[in-house]
Each structure stands twice: as structure tokens, then as C-alpha cells.
Structure 1
Amino acid sequence: MLDIVGLLQSEKDGFTRSERALTEIVLSDVDSVLKMSIVDLAAQAEVSPPTVTRFCRRLGCDSYADFKVRLAQSRFVGQRYLAPTAGPVDVRDIAQGVVNGIQATIYQSFEKLDFSAMDRAAETLAGASYVLAFGSGGASSMLAGEIETRLFRLGVKVASSLDHQLQLMRAASAPAGTVVIAFSLSGNNAQLAKALAVAGEYGLKRIAITRGNSMVAEAADIVIPVHWHENTDILRPTPGRYAFLATVDILSQTVATRLGTPAIASMRRIKHQLVVNRDGDDAQPLGD
């Protein structure tokens, strides 16, 4: 789908004077333009209707009617970004908003946490011969790496993969007893869902940490749904990733308790090497 608004914003400096006049009118009030006839828009921009038609065709639209359809679609998809709500500009106010958002998100996700699913996921991971962690995109990639870091310290054989083709290949070649754990903030990652489906074809257990009732969730055997409200301030990074990180930490500690002595022995060996080769004492975290 052609993003008319995005195209106008990125290309306006290369437009003619008449095209820039039309662009300014469209970007300043999309709703009003959607109600205008070609004659109305031409009159407001002080150009002729044929100029409006040529403008529409330059943007890849067949006609003015097609332009308005695509403009309406573009407005619907990115409505929050056309007229963003004013947010804080003072650093202290920004910091306060970020911290408050993180705290609220973590508590909100905790209140809705599925403890039964968490327990089943932990038992499944503790009994796995091998774990594959799948994610893609920004936060989900980070989460796949995070669960790899949490689990290898417990002595679990684990590897993360961020490439969808590689995920398919690893799912197809994984040994018996492998468990796949997948992350998706949106739950709408069709390629990740396909990788999980392939894993299921080969009898692998699949855990998904994602939005409930989503495409990715439907492809898993065990789903730990994560709930949060997204920001209204589009400039503030999503607090959702902190809810996912908290979920990973809860899952990791639960796995550690299920593994017991072997996990503690693995962590002790890691700590020994860190104390001897880096820290000099036992007070630092278990790695950076």
C-alpha cells in the first residue's frame, strides 16, 4: 500500500512550486482534503484542476479519486503520527515519564501474568536437551539474546537465531528433545509463526512469549501472554519491552529453581572465573 503521507513528507523539497502548495495543504489538514473535490483543492492551492491531476499521477495514483483513497488509507495507518500529542521537552519530565511508564507496564503485566503457563514453560525448558531462541526485529531480537544469556548460565544448551530462514533450518535439523522459545511483541510476525509451525512438524515443543490470541501465539504449544498499554507519546520508546524482560527474568529464575543443583554448579563455575580473572571479589553481577 502506497504511503501517500510519507511520500509527500520525503519528496516535497523536489516538487515544483504548485506541487509544494498542494503538498502543504494536504499535510496541514488531511481530513479536510478528503472532503474536497478536485476543484476545491485546486482553488485553495491556486492551481488548475489538471495540475492537481498531474500531481496525483506523479505520486503514483491513477486519478484524484485514487489519490483520496490512498490518502485515507495512509491517514488511517499512521494517524497518531500525523498530529502527535504534545509531550514533555524538559529532561527531568521526560525521565519521569519514561520511569513511570516502565513501572506501570511491569506491574500491569504482572497482574495479568499466567502463572500456570509460566510453570509449564519452565518445566519444559528445564527438561530440554537443547533450546532454540527465536526473535526478529528490534526488541524481539534483544529478547532472544537475553534468554540465551539467562539460560546458558544455568548450564542449559541454548542458541539464539534472528534470521527467519535460519530459524526454519534449525527447526528442521534440531535433535530430539529440543524446545523452541519465540518472542514477538506484536504477535503478528508471520515468518516467525511459520518457523514455529515447522518446529511443530518435527515434534519440537514450542513456547511463545507474545501477545495473547495472536498469530505467533496460535503457533505455540505453551503461550505466556504479555499485556501492556502502548504509549500515546510516539516519541517515547515502547515500555512493552520491559514487560517482556521482566517475564524473561521470572521464567529464568523459575527454570533455575527447577534445575536446582546443576544450575547452581554452573553459575558457581562462571562466578569463579569472573572473580579470578576480572572482579577480584564476589559482589559483582554474574557477568556484564
Structure 2
Amino acid sequence: MRKSERKVAEYILANPDEIIHMRIVDLATEAQVSEPTVVRFCRAVGCSGFQEFKLNLAQQLASSPSFGQIAVTETDTIAEYKRKVFDSTVDTLLKVRDRIDDRALEAAVTAMAASKRVEFFGFGASGAVAADAQHKFFRLQLATAAHSDHHIQNMSAMSMQAGDVVVAISQSGRTKALLRSMSMAKEQGALVVGLAPSGSPVAQQASIPLEVDVEEDIEIYTPLSSRIAHLVVIDVLAIGVAQRKGPQLQEHLLKLKQGLYTLREDKH
């Protein structure tokens, strides 16, 4: 954008709730620009004019209360960046909750509940999500593993059989090594569930895509909300599988919980 258009953008980001009640002349005065500059700004962000921009902004504010208020800066106090990190994560989770396909979730739960072997593949931050998933699912009377090493992923994928399930986790949806492991698993007859952004190669190659779209802030201070969203989707899958397995699994989980009591200090 031009310098004058950036002044409009900066004022709007700092005062989003006020904009929807302003006239174009009011915004031009407050941002210290001309009215045509406001119009050019609106067109630069894909709107035909100021009225359409205000309508879009009002809809965004209604669905995302923290819009424009979650970017962490180096001058923030601990109270300010605490609120921003929490608000950003909550905002992300609500968006993912409302957008994720229930039919795809149902298909993934059905496949995982019927499988005897479920493995989780991921690299980097997604590798941590895979490890957390393995910790949840091994308690559900399934043979589970989590792999974040490319070579081990490939060997594991090559040992898959029909009816086995691989859950491929990727925040970018474009990791070449993960795509190769997914392809190998499918060649062996396994079903691949993909947690990745919609339209990404991982989502397109998955047998069952669970599309998780998170707009990450590209600034240096960035709460990695996509990791949290993936963790919650894994929780949803685990609850679904546990529900499918019924009372027998509940008895098993109760035994596991009771077995952990001996590892804890008594309350005084």
C-alpha cells in the first residue's frame, strides 16, 4: 500500500470497533488523509467502497472479537501479551470448531475405532502433536506409535496393512517427506487421515482430510495457534473412538487410572 493508505490501515487496526459507526469523512479526518485515499484503501483490500468495507469489518468483529487486537509487540506488558496470546488461541479454536467437516471427523473416528493399529506422523511442532496423540490413543486398546523421523516413518509406512490407519499431521500441509510416507502407507492398503490446511498437498493426498485452517501471524512474536488446534482435533478423535468402543473400554480406562494412584504422593 501507499504510505497514506497504510495510515488508514493502522488507524482501523487500532480502532476497529469505532470504524463501523463512522462516515468516510470521519475516518479520513481521524487518519489525516483524504476521502479518496480511504476509497483506495478499501479497494486495495478487495472492497468496492467504504460501505462494503464496514459491512465486512462488522461481520469479522462479530465472529472474531479479538480481531486486530492480538498482535504482540515488544512494548507490551505481561498483562497485555498474556491476554493477546489467550485471545488469539481462543479465537482460532472457535474458527476451527465451526469450519471443520463433521462428516470427515465421523469417517476418521469410524476408521480409527475399527483399526487395530494407528500411527501418527509429523515433523517439528507437528511431531510434538503426534507424540501427544500417541499418548492419548495407546490407552484406547490400540497398537499406536508416533514417528517424527523420516526414515522410521518410511519403514513404518511400508509395514502397514489394509485396515491400519496413519494420521499425518502438518501445519503447512506441504512437507515433502511426510507426503512420501503417506504415499507409501496408502500403497500398502492403509487409510491416511490428514490434519492439514484445506487445499494443501497433504489434505489432497489424504484418504480422509481433516482440514484445519489457521491464519498464523508472521511477526516475530507469534503464538502458534495451529499446534493448539491440532491438539484439540486429536482430543475430539480420541473421545469419538472411546465412545465407539463402549463400556468395556471404560472399565479398562478406570483400571489405568487406579494404577496411577500408587505413583502419587498422598494428600496431607
What TM-score results when the alignment is normalised by the length of structure 2? 0.69
- The Cα of 1:127 is off from its aligned counterpart by 0.6
2:230 alignment partner, SS class:
helix
1:96 equivalent to 2:83? Answer yes
> 1:226-256: per-residue Cα shift (whole Å, max 9, x none)?
0222125431232111111111111111111
- The Cα of 1:262 is off from its aligned counterpart by 3.3
**Correspondent of 1:244 among 230, 234, 241:** 230
> Aligned partner of 1:231: which letter?
D
**Aligned partners of 1:174, 1:148: CA distance in 2, in Å?**
17
Which ranges in structure 1 are unaligned for 5 or more consecutive residues? 1-83, 282-288
Per the alignment, residue 217 of structure 1 pairs with: 203
2:172 alignment partner, SS class:
coil
**Aligned partners of 2:241, 2:170: CA distance in 1, in Å?**
21
Per the alignment, residue 106 of structure 1 pairs with: 93
**Aligned partners of 1:280, 1:227: CA distance in 2, in Å?**
44
Matches within 5 A, 1:117-196: 117-137=104-124, 139-196=125-182
CA contact (8 A) 1:135 1:192 kept: yes
Which ranges in structure 2 are unaligned for 5 or more consecutive residues? 1-70
1:167 alignment partner, SS class:
helix
- The Cα of 1:87 is off from its aligned counterpart by 4.9
- The Cα of 1:103 is off from its aligned counterpart by 0.6
> 1:177-212: per-residue Cα shift (whole Å, max 9, x none)?
321111000101011011000111111111111111
> Aligned partner of 1:132: which letter?
E
CA RMSD in angstroms comes to: 1.9
Query: May I ask how many residue pairs the two structures share in their alignment?
Result: 197
CA contact (8 A) 1:85 1:232 kept: no
Label 1:279 to 1:128 Cα distance change in 2 as closer, same or farther (>3 A).
farther
- The Cα of 1:276 is off from its aligned counterpart by 3.1
Does 235-244 or 161-170 show the bigger shift? 235-244
Q: Percent identity?
A: 28
Label 1:230 to 1:156 Cα distance change in 2 as closer, same or farther (>3 A).
same
What TM-score results when the alignment is normalised by the length of structure 1? 0.65
> Aligned partner of 1:190: which letter?
K
Label 1:260 to 1:235 Cα distance change in 2 as closer, same or farther (>3 A).
same
**Aligned partners of 1:213, 1:119: CA distance in 2, in Å?**
20
**Aligned partners of 2:252, 2:190: CA distance in 1, in Å?**
26
CA contact (8 A) 2:170 2:196 kept: yes
